[in-house]
């Protein structure tokens, strides 16, 4: 097989499943045989691996806003990253900041998630008006918190400011507020 030809290219799900350990052992052998002989599929897999490595670097640098399980924060700590965490009860507020030594900043929003299958995060202005909404955040029904990783570059650029977050769940006829959380941000000196 030359560098350009591939008679039976592996599809994206097969390559992802192979890379991430989701294939049965017999199927792993088959994918490895193919990739070792096929430059096109090796290139395709290399591209996926590069994207994955990029995501890993961005996540470790606090450059991705995302909702994660609490256990993920512990993995970052175990890696040696400096993770600044703020825990808030519903209706609570916190004085917060970010320093030059923080790799990742996270908010842990306590919430009663029993029976909730869908939830949205709503950012409000000081007058209580909605300014941004993140639909369908991932939830685990075994958890009693929503953990958000904020982008450290955004936080570092903030002046002294108060930000408001509301966690809501859709219900027939409207939305129910699960919790409201207030962040009183002060820039690091």
Partner 1 sequence: MDVSDGELARRIAASAPGAASDVEAELYGRLAPRVRLYGLRHLRDAQAAADLMQQVLLMTIERLRDGKVHDPDRLGSYVLGMCRLVVIDLRRGGRRREQLLHDFVGDVPVGTSAPEPRVDEERLEACLARLAARERSVLVLTFHSDRSALEVGRELGLTAANVRVIRHRAIVRLRACLEDEEGTP
Residues near partner 1, by CB under 8 A: 1-4, 12-13, 16-22, 32-33, 35-39, 42-43, 45-60, 63-69, 71-72, 75, 121, 134-143
- The nearest distance, CB 58 to partner 1, in angstroms, is 6
Tell me whether residue 30 or residue 93 sits nearer to partner 1 (CB atom). 30
Contact yes or no for 167/179 (Cβ under 8 A): yes
Whose Cβ is closer to partner 1: residue 59's or residue 158's?
59
Q: Which of 83, 142, 93 is nearest to 115 (CA)?
A: 142
- The 3-state DSSP class for residue 72 equals helix
Q: How many angstroms separate the CA atoms of 189 and 51, rounded?
A: 35
Contact yes or no for 17/43 (Cβ under 8 A): no
Between CA 138 and CA 150 the distance in angstroms is: 16
> By the 8 A CB rule, do 94 and 86 touch?
yes
Rounded to a whole number of angstroms, the minimum distance from the CB of residue 26 to partner 1 is 15
Residues in the chain: 189
């Amino acid at each position: 097989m030359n560098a350009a030809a591939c008679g039976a290219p592996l599809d994206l799900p097969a390559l992802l499943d192979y890379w991430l350990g989701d294939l049965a052992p017999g199927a792993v052998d088959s994918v490895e045989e193919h990739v070792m002989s096929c430059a096109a599929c090796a290139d395709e897999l290399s591209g996926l691996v590069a994207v994955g490595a990029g995501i890993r670097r961005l996540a470790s640098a606090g450059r991705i806003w995302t909702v994660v399980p609490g256990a993920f924060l512990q993995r970052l700590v175990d890696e040696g990253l400096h993770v600044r965490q703020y825990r808030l009860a519903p209706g609570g507020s916190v004085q917060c900041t970010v320093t030059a030594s923080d790799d990742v900043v996270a908010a842990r929003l306590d919430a009663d998630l029993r029976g909730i299958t869908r939830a949205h995060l709503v950012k409000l202005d000081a007058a209580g008006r909605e300014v941004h909404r993140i639909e369908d955040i991932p939830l685990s029904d075994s958890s009693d918190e929503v953990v958000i990783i904020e982008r450290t570059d955004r936080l570092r650029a903030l002046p002294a400011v108060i930000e408001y977050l509301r966690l809501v769940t859709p219900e027939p006829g409207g939305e129910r507020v699960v919790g409201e959380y207030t962040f009183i941000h002060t820039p690091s000196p």
